[in-house]
Structure 1
Amino acid sequence: MKNPKLKIFLFFFLLCFSSIYSQYTEVINSNKPGFSESPYSVGTGVYQFESNIFFRNTSIQPTFSRPQSLGFDMLFRTSFFLEKLEINAQASYQRDKIAFKNIFTSHYYTTGLSKFTVGAKYLIFQQEYEDKSKEVRSWKRRFAFDKKRLIPSVAIYAGLNTNFVSEFYKNESISPKIGVLLQNNLSSKFNIITNIFYDQIGTEFSELSYIITGTYNFSDRWSSFLENQTVFKEYQNKINLGFGLAYLYSKDLQINSSIRLLSEGKSTGFYAGFGVSYRINKHKDAYIELDENGREITDSPVSNYNKKRKGFFSRIFGIFTKKEKKKTTRTRSRKRKN
């Protein structure tokens, strides 16, 4: 490419393109404690782990049923090359109570890896909103509802349910999973996420489901959610209604908990979960912030915050590291002998 003007044009085009569609956020953006999934990725250079310990209990029904489960769920998320593309993997390990109810009731327990799914999502449309904080001429315009907020950001999801699970949880074969992920930011504090999934395609256990989650931020640290998930199966539908809280401990660590009411066919029960989401942040912006004189800005509120605060694990292990002692040197004055 010999034309220097063309090089400059392409440079600024790619720069603007990556900046407009950047998915990275200064604080962790976790899907937990809900079951729904945001259309946005974690951003390039971010390695995020979202864990959850759960307990599920329902009533025992005739013939065979699975009335009780205790397990651990882990979701790993990262992004390569493209900000709008996220790669993720989800695994669940649990201990289930299998009950048989006829004339008498008996049960046994099984333990193992119950789920291992790999997938990817791609943001195909990101809604932009007006910055009304700069509106000073009209009070009405400043506080008027932005109708663009009714149009959601959209992502598509494609995944694969592997058969790398314990024998009890194996299906006929590996099966695909597809979905549409929507998010409406109705205000700076309240958003609604809608997911539609078609799972285990091509098997006897194929299912169609939707999830609607409303999240409200009370402050910079605390948020809550209300969620409904409904799963349509050939022989049995499942419905759960959940509520939960999340606490932002640091910009890279979130703690959350949730409780759900379950309705699975004729069975009813509850679900409780407690989780931690943590990210390893290696993200680097594709641009350098410059001042009006064209010099790099190294002293900003965000950079100062990052310098003062270390990661969660760094603070823990920092307890066991010895602080370097400052070496002091003393100079002695020698007296001359007469």
Structure 2
Amino acid sequence: MLKLKYPPFSKSKSLKKILIFTLFFWGSTSSFSAQYTEIINSNQPGFSESPYSVGTGIYQFENNFFLRSISLKPDFPSAQYGGVDLQFRTSFLLEKLELNAHLNYQQDRVALEKIYNTGFGSMTVGAKYLVYQPKYTDKTKEIRSWRKRGAFDKKRLLPSVGVSLGMNADFSNKISGATSITPKVGILLQHNLTQNFNIVNNFYYNNIGSDFSEFSHIVTATQSFYNRYSIFFENKTVFEKNQNNINLGLGLAYLYHKDLQINTSGRFLFEGKAQGFYASFGFSYRIDRHQDTYKDLDINGVKPKNKLGFSKRFLRIFKNKNKGLKTKENKKNNFLGIFGKKKKETEVEKLEREIKELEKEMKKEEKKKERQKSNN
């Protein structure tokens, strides 16, 4: 039996500490680099989450099918759980701000009895914000010294910091025993020790203000290789009033496409005196509608000042409003811009399209002439 070294969780003292840390990290300095990546950035198959957002214009779906079994004794019948975890992530306000929703649907089998409970286990709607991201030294520019080029960058010891805030909703079924709506806060840390190895730490305080409040810590180590595969090891510890629950997991993820990831994982569960296992298989997919933003800078890298007169600037306001109305009408035709065009048609693309249309018309006329000749 695994012995737990952690003391029971104290709700009042830990809540104050978490709120203080959250306010501190939210008010610290932040970097202005974008969060968008060329390939999908998924949290699956781990339970932890990185502090980074998916980026504006990204609509990402993370699905995971799972089977869970746990028993008090080896000879004792086990309680089994099966279901699906659904998560949706997007960002359309700021690059560093992500909005997400997590839904769990499962079926429970009660031990000793053939009784099944089916329904929504939990639902969480929240947001996370990247507060700080360190800037690393670009070693590719170092051409004089091989040692300096291969030396470890001490700046990588500084983690990227994010904060999360969410609300848990209970659907009043037999699976979940928490109150109807409870808040959830978290601190997200990620150490990018190398380009292919990182460590993520999450600290959560969940179901605040209810009889089922809990504090949890998740640490995940991920190693990627061959630009396609990544393996991870994870330890999740949940601190409750009467007992502490430990979850040890190992998983594999495969990048099938730049917008599609397939993953699987297995876990050992230690919940008080009970032991069990957890297995999952899932995939993550995103719809990429991201558009990069640009700023006009002069030779010195400074944004040029607007030299227009007051009257011209005043008239320019009404032109911008008319442009805004046109963009709103276009957005109404496409749901959140998901199925819209990414870029406007350029003059070259317009000419190519017109040439193709003329070629199609000429082919149609030739076919008509051939049919007329054959009929005659």
Instruction: Name stretches of at least 5 consecutive residues in structure 1 with no aligned partner.
Output: 1-17, 100-104, 293-324, 333-338
Offset at 1:65? 9.9
Deviation, structure 1 residue 110 = 0.4
Q: What amino acid sits opposite 2:146 in the alignment? A: W
Write 1 or 2 for the structure with the bigger share of helix: 2
Which residue in 1 is equivalent to 2:44? 32
Secondary structure of 2:156's partner? helix
Residue 81 in 1 paired to residue 99 in 2?
no
- Choose which of 60, 69, 82 in structure 2 pairs with 1:70: 82
Q: Are the aligned partners of 1:73 and 1:93 in contact in 2 as well (CA < 8 Å)?
A: yes
2:205 is the counterpart of 1:228? no
Q: State the shift of 1:287 in Å.
A: 2.1
For residues 98-126 of structure 1, what are the alpha-carbon distances to aligned partners after superposition, in whole Å with 9 as ceiling and x for unaligned? 22xxxxx4352100001111011011101
> Partners in 2 of 1:29 and 1:116 — Cα distance?
22
In the alignment, structure 1 residue 253 sits paired with structure 2 residue 260 = yes
Instruction: State the alpha-carbon separation in 2 of the partners of residues 36 and 98 from structure 1.
Output: 28
Q: For the residues of structure 1 that align with 2:172 and 2:95, how far apart are their CA atoms?
A: 31
Q: For residues 150-205 of structure 1, what are the alpha-carbon distances to aligned partners after superposition, in whole Å with 9 as ceiling and x for unaligned?
A: 11000001110012353542522311100000001000110010000000111111
Q: Counterpart in 2 of 1:136?
A: 143
Alpha-carbon distance in structure 1 between the residues aligned to 2:44 and 2:155: 26
TM-score (norm 1): 0.76
SS of the equivalent of 1:106 reads: coil
1:162 aligns with 2:169: yes
- 8 Å Cα contact 1:257/1:274 also seen in 2: yes
SS in 2 for 1:169: coil
Secondary structure at 1:187 match in 2: coil
Aligned length: 277
> Is the Cα–Cα contact under 8 Å of residues 213 and 228 in structure 1 kept in the other structure?
yes
Q: Specify the alignment match of 1:150 in structure 2.
A: 157
Cα deviation for residue 20 of structure 1 reads 3.7
What secondary structure is seen at the aligned counterpart in 2 of 1:161?
strand
Q: What's the CA shift for 1:68?
A: 1.0
Kept in 1, the 8 Å contact 2:31–2:132? The answer is no
Amino acid at match of 1:30: S
Partner-residue secondary structure (3-state), 1:216:
strand
Following the alignment from structure 1 to structure 2, what is the Cα–Cα distance between the partners of residues 106 and 125? 51
- Residue 94 to residue 182, structure 1, CA distance change in 2 (3 Å): same
CA RMSD of aligned residues (A): 2.7
Q: What does the per-residue CA deviation read over 1:201-249, in whole Å, with 9 as the maximum and x for residues that have no partner?
A: 1111111110000111111111111111000111221111111111111
User: What are the residue-to-residue correspondences of 1:198-277 with 2, within 5 Å?
Assistant: 198-277=205-284
* Amino acid paired to 2:34: S
**What stretches of structure 2 of length at least 5 have no aligned partner?**
1-29, 300-358, 371-376
The answer to whether the Cα contact below 8 Å between 1:48 and 1:277 also exists between their aligned partners in 2 is yes
Partner of 2:25 in structure 1?
A: none
Note if contact 1:78-1:86 (Cα within 8 Å) is conserved in structure 2: yes
User: Aligned partners of 2:175 and 2:38: how far apart in 1?
Assistant: 42
Counterparts in 2 of 1:1-338, with a 5 A limit?
A: 20-60=32-72, 67-99=79-111, 105-164=112-171, 166-287=173-294, 327=363, 329=366
Q: What is the distance in 2 between the residues matched to 1:232 and 1:19?
A: 33
Q: Which residue of 1 aligns with 2:15?
A: none
Q: 1:65 to 1:20 in 2, by over 3 A?
A: farther
Matching residue's letter, 1:141: K
What code does the residue aligned with 1:54 have? F
Q: Check conservation: 1:65, 1:98, Cα contact below 8 A.
A: no
The amino acid across from 2:159 in the alignment is P
Tell me the TM-score normalized by structure 2. Answer: 0.69
SS of equivalent residue, structure 1 residue 43: coil
Structure with the larger strand share? 1
Pair 179,19 (structure 1): closer, same or farther in 2 beyond 3 Å: closer
CA deviations on 1:123-146 (whole Å, 9 max, x unpaired) are: 110111111011001111101100
CA contact (8 A) 1:113 1:165 kept: no
What amino acid is aligned across from residue 49 of structure 1 in structure 2? F
CA distance in 1, matches of 2:291, 2:285: 18
Distance 1:66 1:281, change over 3 A: farther
Aligned amino acid, residue 92 of structure 1: N
2: CA distance between counterparts of 1:277 and 1:67? 29
